[in-house]
Each structure stands twice: as C-alpha cells, then as structure tokens.
C-alpha cells in the first residue's frame, strides 16, 4: 500500500484546484440533500397517511362547504367510529407573510381522530375548557416564540370580524405529531368559537363545514364505508366524495405542482456537473503523477500501489466534499424548516437521505478515480518515466 502521507501530498499539490473541486462537491451535495428532503416531505403525508381515516368533501370542489347537518348522518353509517368537523380558517399572524394552517374542529374529538398528536406542554383539559383555546404545533410555536397560556391574534382573510379586529386565541397546549399526516405547523381551535361569532353577526364568512374527517372502525372496510357515505348523499342537497386520507393529501401535493420532476431534473444536472468536475480533477491529477507512478514502481511498489494512489485520492476528495455538504445541510435543517415549514411540512434531512448521499459520493469517487487509477496500474516503469507532464 502507498503511505497516506504521499496520497495527501499529491492531492494537495494544486491547492486551489482541490479547493474549488471540494467547494463544488460541498454545494452540490448540500443542494441534493435539501432538494431530496423537499420531495420526501411532500410524499410523507401521502405514504404515511392513516388507512383507517377518510376525508369527506364536496363532490363539486374542495372549496365548497358541506352542511353542518351532515355530521350526524355520517356518524350513523355502519363502520364509522368518529366524525370530526374541519374548516379551513385562512388566517395570518401580524403580517400576511406569516401564514400557516389553522382549522376549526370539534375539540372533544380531535384526540380520538388524530391519535398521533402528542402534547409537549399544556393539557387536553385546558384545550376543552375554553372556547378560545387552541392547540399549536411545536414548529409554529418555536418560529414565533409562543408558549402555553399566551394569547395570540390571528386575522382571517376568509372569516372577517365585523369590528375589523383580529380573532383572539389562547394557547392551551403545544403538540408534536408522531405521524407525517399531521404536521407540526397547524393551529386547531374550537369550531363553536367560529360558529357562535357567525350566528351573532360578529363575523362574516362562508357557512358550513370544509370537510369531515372520519375515523373508521377497526373491523370495517374503509372502501365500503366511503362508498356508503357517498351513496347516502347521492341525491343531495350537496353531493359528497369520501376519499382515503392518502388520496386527500395527494390533492395538496398536486396543487404545489410537479415538484418531484423539477427536483429530479435539477438533481440530475447537479450530478452530471459534479461527475464531470471530479473526473476532470482526477484525470489531471493522474497525468501529473505519471512520473511519480514510475518512481514508485521502480522502487519496488507493485501495480496495486499505483492503482490505490489515484483511487484513494478520489475517495478522499469526494469524501471531504460530500461530508461538508451533508454537514452544511444538517446545520441548515432547523432554519429551513422554519422558513419552508408552511409549504413543506415535516421537512427534515432524514437518515435515508444521508445514506443515499454517502452512497452517491462513493459512486462519484469510483467513477472519477477508476479511469486514472486503471491507467496507472497498466503503466510500465519505462512508460511512466518517459511520459512528459
């Protein structure tokens, strides 16, 4: 084997070139980790959706509300364990740029319907005990510095208060969801708070319920339950469409656009760029070190030593660049989650992303290093010493 000191010395022979190559690899692997995390965060809500939950919406459009009277009829369908109202509030905190998800729900049912919700602080009793109480996801609470017991003003673009002021909510608990179908950026509050304000003419907005989330019994077939719900309202007054939670979540992914395609195209371009940059660096290094290979072989080192002299340089080059890129992505995870959490809930640099980045780094290193390494292995002492750099 070739001494490691010689490998480092040859690798750093042209420091600027190596620095630029490592910098390119760092940026490339940082982008690949972040872009891949965006796609994974979108897919997670679909792949990890609960199989025993259905979402009932208007058959006309998601933006058409359903009558409140439908809840009791849906609950009477065989196989339905629980039904919960969910109405999109469409509000923002202080500035219009501070938008995140808010839903008016049945407070006494959310713990059963979304069992993956775990409270980090506060209590369910406090949430149930006050009409203005709300649950807030930990990511949103951390972003705005909120804590339990704090009163926060939310202005809704859909449900406007008659006095022109903001809706006041008291944070009863901060939650952390263990499932991707419920993100950690949402605010849940009492549907009765919204309904009573509308009835008292203290607020204006569309009447009815956005969607009903239905929890199906363990012994029931969700497909059959969904078909029964659809048939129940087939003749109106408002036709419905019951879909699985995965299908419902997929609608929102499609609204964002074909993100996976664009990310894949960008990733492919980045991959080709780093392959060419690394290959060019190693080919130049291989040419420059031809006489060194001849000297090594003349001193008694075998062809294997010449082979590993070049290949190890490629592995070290890619390892340093990829490692720096991965570490940079991990260090930027929290800031990116805070800024992208609304559009990409559950954003995280997961273990499988890091593993794929490491595997890619090894593949790039082998691709870039095998050609000059194989050439060094084939060279004879005379050929190598006669070669002009």
Q: Tens digits of per-residue pLDDT, 258-276?
A: 666 777 777 778 778 877 8
Instruction: Please give the backbone phi and psi of residue 311, each rounded to the nearest 5 degrees, phi first.
Output: -65, -40
Strand partners, 352: none
Q: How does DSSP assign 181-244, residue by residue? A: TS-SS-EEEEHHHHHHHHHTTSEE---SBSEEEEEEPTTS-HHHHHHHHHHHTTTSSS-EEEEE
Q: Tens digits of per-residue pLDDT, 187-200?
A: 999 999 999 999 99
Q: Tens digits of per-residue pLDDT, 74-128?
A: 999 999 999 999 999 999 999 988 888 899 999 999 999 998 899 999 999 999 9
- Would the pLDDT of 170 be above 70? yes
The pLDDT value recorded for residue 80 is 95
pLDDT band at 233 (very low <50, low <70, confident <90, very high): very high
The pLDDT value recorded for residue 121 is 94
As a whole number, mean pLDDT of residues 342-358 equals 81
Q: Greater confidence, 368 or 301?
A: 368
Q: Give me the sign of the Cα torsion angle 161, 165, 170, 173.
A: positive
Buried b / exposed e over 360-379, threshold 16 CB at 10 Å, is bbeebbeebbbebbebbbeb
Q: Tens digits of per-residue pLDDT, 17-65?
A: 888 888 888 988 998 888 888 877 776 666 666 678 999 999 988 889 9
Q: Which ranges in 203-350 belong to alpha helices (H)?
A: 222-232, 245-256, 259-288, 290-298, 303-331, 333-340
Q: What is the DSSP letter of 104?
A: E
């Amino acid at each position: 084997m070739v001494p490691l000191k010689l490998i480092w010395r040859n690798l750093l022979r042209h420091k600027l070139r190596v620095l630029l190559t490592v910098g390119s690899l760092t940026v490339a692997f940082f982008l690949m980790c972040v872009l891949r995390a965006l796609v994974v965060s979108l897919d997670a809500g679909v792949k990890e959706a609960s199989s025993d939950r259905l979402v009932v919406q208007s058959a006309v459009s998601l933006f058409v509300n359903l009558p409140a009277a439908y809840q009791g009829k849906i609950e009477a369908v065989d196989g339905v364990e629980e039904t919960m109202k969910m109405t999109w509030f469409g509000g923002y905190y202080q500035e219009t740029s501070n938008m995140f998800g808010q839903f008016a729900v049945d407070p006494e049912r959310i713990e059963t319907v979304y069992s993956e919700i775990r409270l980090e602080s506060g209590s369910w009793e406090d949430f149930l005990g006050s009409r203005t109480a709300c649950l807030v996801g930990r990511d949103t609470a951390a972003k705005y510095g909120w804590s339990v017991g704090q009163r926060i003003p939310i202005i809704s673009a859909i449900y406007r208060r008659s006095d022109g002021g903001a809706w006041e909510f008291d944070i009863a608990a901060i939650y952390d969801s263990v499932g991707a179908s419920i993100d950690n950026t949402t605010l849940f509050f009492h549907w009765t708070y919204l309904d009573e304000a509308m009835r008292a003419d203290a607020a204006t907005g569309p009447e009815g319920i956005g969607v009903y989330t239905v929890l199906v019994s363990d012994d029931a077939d969700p497909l059959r339950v969904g078909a029964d719900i659809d048939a129940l309202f087939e003749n109106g007054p408002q036709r419905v469409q019951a879909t699985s939670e995965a299908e419902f979540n997929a609608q929102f992914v499609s609204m964002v656009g074909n993100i996976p395609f664009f990310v894949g195209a960008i990733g492919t371009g980045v991959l080709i760029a780093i392959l060419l940059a690394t290959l060019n660096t190693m080919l130049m290094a291989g040419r420059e070190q031809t006489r060194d290979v001849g000297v090594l072989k003349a001193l008694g080192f075998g062809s294997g030593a010449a082979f590993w002299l070049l290949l190890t340089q490629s592995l070290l080059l890619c390892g340093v660049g990829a490692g720096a890129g991965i570490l940079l992505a991990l260090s930027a995870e929290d800031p990116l989650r805070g800024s992208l959490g609304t559009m990409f809930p559950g954003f995280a640099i997961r273990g499988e992303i890091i593993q794929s980045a490491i595997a890619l780094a090894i593949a790039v290193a082998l691709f870039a290093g095998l050609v000059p390494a194989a050439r060094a292995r084939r060279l004879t002492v005379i050929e190598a010493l006669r070669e002009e750099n």
